[in-house]
Amino acid sequence: MSRSHRITILAGDGIGPEVMAESVRILEAVEAKFGFTVARSEHLVGGAAIDATGHPLPPETVAASEAADAILFGSVGGPKWETLPPDIQPERGALLPLRKHFGLFANLRPGVCLPALTHASPVKQELIADGFDVLCVRELTGGVYFGTPKGREERNGEPVAFDTMVYMKSEIQRIARVAFTAAMGRKKQLLSVDKANVLASSVLWRETVVEISKEFPEVELSHMYVDNAAMQLIKRPGSFDVLVTENLFGDILSDEMAMISGSLGMLPSASLGKQREDGLYFGLYEPSGGSAPDIAGQGIANPIAQILSLAMLLRFSLGEVEAADAIEAAVAKTIADGFRTGDIATSQPGETKVGTSGMGDAILA
Ligand code: NAI
Ligand code: MG
């Protein structure tokens, strides 16, 4: 009997539906090749959902996702909906509530620059001559973004505003386990990034990560302060492998890593919930970039970020590791063979310029 899985597809707005179509073709190919089936149901989200129902996250979309193993998400938003009240805007009203509803506390953002694309990176060529390949594991539902008290008031006739960085030990334990597990599947090195010389929450962070490291004796754990990590990423990007950090630090460092990688159109992401008994996670998988309204509808968007998001979904939510490996290898080969969408084209010899579906064709081949 073949393995069967179920996902929801929320393509969203802008380039979302265009790059999603290519991902679905890739999914069909790996189903056939590796002998499993993925039941797919497509639902409205973001601006498209606002236009049809008045709300960016219809209850029917949430219900369908609850019944699934994972969500493959495109992107939401665009100029058409920017003037709506914040709560019903595509990102604020759909993506954030989805993360919250499903308890997606672990954000995995790979920063990868394939060897053939290193000239697209702003860092010195010799520093990433062998490519750049770092996985940032960012805590997504705690820390200063959510901590209380948070607010603004008058003190001694002056406005004062405050946020609180709060971490419960259990929140650190669960993100640390995700990071160690990810490190086990790579070079078995984990860098924990904190500010333990200044912040109480970071002292607890470091203590807890050290405790969890005992469950993963094969992984070599090291620590770095966040300000130093920001420097070292630029100075010796090739020396990083997996890093784990709290919400705000991860927000900043993962954007720095995306920049080192060169193109947003290449970078996937995963937001994971609690690990299940079988070792898999419910997750939402989406490109690191947005809906790219400037190029939507032209068939020129790079579908690779979406396709690699599918690979992460297969790996972390469905356990179809061979299929995930095959997709990642096919993408690497396609780039090595010179196929380029506009965002990664440089008019070097040996490049073949393709559109969205042409890139999909090359990866399928
Ligand atoms: P963006 O990521 O959509 O675009 C930034 C630049 O990168 C643009 O020049 C775009 O053409 C390019 N780009 C992004 N993905 C690409 C791809 N796959 N291939 C080729 N080029 C690509 O960010 P921006 O312009 O700040 O936001 C546009 C809209 O997307 C806004 O409405 C924003 O709210 C929304 N957004 C949605 C996100 C989500 O759904 N998770 C995340 C970020 C932004
Ligand atoms: Mg950010």
In the beta sheet, which residues pair with residue 279?
none
In the chain, domain spans? 1-104+270-365, 122-261
pLDDT of 99 over the 80 cut:
yes
pLDDT at 254: 93
Binned at pLDDT 50, 70 and 90, residue 1 comes out as low
**What is the mean predicted confidence (pLDDT) over 261-287?**
93
pLDDT digits (tens, 9 = 90+) for 297-340: 999 999 999 999 999 999 999 999 999 999 999 999 999 999 99
pLDDT at 116: 86
Say how many Å lie between the CA of residue 252 and the centre of ligand 2. Answer: 6
Give the angle subtended at the CA of 259 by the CAs of 286 and 173, to the nearest 5°: 60
For ligand 1, atom 25: residue with the closest CA: 292
Looking at ligand 1, which atom is closest to the CA of residue 76?
40
pLDDT of 140 over the 70 cut:
yes
pLDDT of 2 over the 80 cut:
no
Say how many Å lie between the CA of residue 322 and the centre of ligand 2. Answer: 31
- Does residue 149 have a known ligand-binding role? no
Q: Does residue 286 have its Cβ closer than 6 Å to ligand 1?
A: yes
User: Residues whose CB is under 5 A from ligand 2 (ion)?
Assistant: 251
Nearest bound ligand to the CA of residue 140: 2
Q: Does residue 304 have its Cβ closer than 6 Å to ligand 1?
A: no
For ligand 1, atom 37: residue with the closest CA: 290
Q: Does residue 293 have its Cβ closer than 6 Å to ligand 1?
A: yes
Looking at ligand 1, which atom is closest to the CA of residue 75?
40
pLDDT at 46: 97
**What is the mean predicted confidence (pLDDT) over 124-141?**
92
**What is the mean predicted confidence (pLDDT) over 207-219?**
98
ipTM of the modeled complex: 0.97
pLDDT at 92: 86
Q: Does residue 83 have its Cβ closer than 6 Å to ligand 1?
A: no
More confident residue, 88 or 11: 11
pLDDT at 262: 82
pLDDT of 131 over the 90 cut:
no
Give me the phi and psi of 310, to 5 degrees please.
-60, -40
pLDDT of 66 over the 80 cut:
yes
pLDDT at 118: 87
Q: Name the superfamily (CATH) of residues 122-261.
A: Isopropylmalate Dehydrogenase (3.40.718.10)
pLDDT of 87 over the 90 cut:
no
Q: How far apart are CA 5 and CA 70, in angstroms?
A: 9
Q: How far apart are CA 125 and CA 338, in angstroms?
A: 19
Identify the weakest region by mean pLDDT among 2-11, 154-163, 173-182, 253-262.
253-262
**pLDDT above 90 coverage of the chain, percent:** 87
**What is the mean predicted confidence (pLDDT) over 83-90?**
90
In CATH terms, are 1-104+270-365 and 122-261 the same topology?
yes
Candidate of 18, 19, 57, 75 to mutate for ligand 1, largest count of ligand atoms within 8 Å of Cβ: 75
Work out the burial of residue 55: count CB atoms within 10 Å of its CB; fewer than 13 is exposed, 13-18 middle, 19 or more buried. middle
Candidate of 19, 72, 76 to mutate for ligand 1, largest count of ligand atoms within 8 Å of Cβ: 76
Catalytic positions, written as ranges? 145, 195, 227, 251, 255
CATH of domain 1-104+270-365: 3.40.718.10
* Mean of pLDDT over the chain: 95
Binned at pLDDT 50, 70 and 90, residue 264 comes out as confident
**pLDDT above 70 coverage of the chain, percent:** 100
